[in-house]
Structure 1
Amino acid sequence: MDEVKRSNSKAIVTLVMGVLSLLIPLIGIILGVLGLIFASKSKAEMKVTGESGNGLVTAGKVCSVVGIILNIIAILIFFVFFYFVVNTDISTY
């Protein structure tokens, strides 16, 4: 019988961190960076051990990068909105 290769556990963590970086606002930047760190470590580990998981690592990297970008855009939109709300000259008196 053919032996089934195990998926690298850090590759799975990479994918989970990447998906969570898309779903959790503000903390998603930290999760995205952690996902990228785990991706590089899992790639190196997979070369040594021969485990599978290249697709998981690739998907995790993509999700992490997209999550970081979306979180930065959301923060910038918040600051721009806050700036315009604070600097309006509308008074209710």
Structure 2
Amino acid sequence: MEEKRYSPSGTLALGIVTMFIPVIGIISGILAIIFANKSLKVTEDTEAIKALYLGGRVCAIIGLCYQGLMVIYIIFIFTIALSPLFY
């Protein structure tokens, strides 16, 4: 049975969405990494198509790191804002 290949441009688009859209970015980043990894394992296409998969995966990783830092920042801000209530 042949494994499913995902669209290289779709994977790249999901990776780019990860960097710019806050909540949806976490979901699309995870999907982009999964799609890129699965497709790179089964594809025997040209280097240009593999580069699109790799670009999507790199954008997704960078976007997920950014999203994680933003979540930590928001938790920090809420902690600072709510701290006077507990004195």
Calculate the TM-score normalised by the size of structure 2: 0.81
Structure 1 stretches of 4+ with a deviation exceeding 6 A read: none
Partner residue, 1:12? 9
User: Do structure 1's residue 21 and structure 2's residue 36 form an aligned pair?
Assistant: no
Q: CA RMSD, aligned part only?
A: 1.7
Deviation at 1:9, TM superposition (A): 5.1
Distance 1:30 1:64 in 2: 10
| 1:38 maps to which of 18, 22, 35 | 35
Gaps of 5+ in 1: 1-7
Q: Distance in 1 between matches of 2:70 and 2:56?
A: 21
Aligned length: 80
Q: Give a deviation string over 1:8-31, Cα, whole Å, max 9, x none.
A: 752111101100000100221111
Structure 1 or 2: more helix by fraction: 2
User: Which of 51, 56, 73 lines up with 1:60 in the alignment?
Assistant: 56
Q: Secondary structure at the match of 2:84?
A: coil
Identity, in percent, stands at 28
TM-score of the superposed pair, with normalisation by structure 1: 0.76
C-alpha distance in 2 between matches for 1:42 and 1:64 = 15
Q: Which residues of structure 2 form unaligned runs of 5+?
A: none
Find out whether 1:77 has 2:73 as its counterpart. yes
